């Protein structure tokens, strides 16, 4: 099963009465959102590692500045 970025969400449409499920997989997240997560202060190390692996899989090289 693919790696998740965040848990699934169920969205209820009041007009139609239907429930749709939004799935958040790493491979579907935009590059900017992944990089913003890495730079965030409340990101966990386990999830940071998953994000780094996904960016590496896409062929994106990060340059760390201090």
Above 90 in pLDDT, residue 21?
yes
SS3 44: coil
Question: What pLDDT, on a 0 to 100 scale, did the predictor assign at position 25?
Answer: 97
Q: pLDDT band for 60, please (50, 70, 90 cuts).
A: very high
pTM value is 0.82
Answer for the pair 32, 21: CB distance below 8 angstroms, yes or no: no
Question: What pLDDT, on a 0 to 100 scale, did the predictor assign at position 54?
Answer: 96
Tens digit of each residue's pLDDT (9 = 90 or more) over 29-47: 999 999 999 999 999 999 9
Above 90 in pLDDT, residue 65?
no
């Amino acid at each position: 099963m693919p790696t998740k970025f965040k848990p699934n969400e169920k969205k209820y449409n009041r007009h139609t009465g239907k429930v749709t499920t939004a799935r958040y997989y790493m491979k579907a997240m935009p590059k900017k959102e992944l990089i913003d997560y890495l730079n965030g202060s409340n990101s966990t190390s386990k999830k940071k590692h998953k994000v780094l692996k996904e960016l590496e899989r896409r062929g994106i090289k990060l340059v760390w500045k201090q």
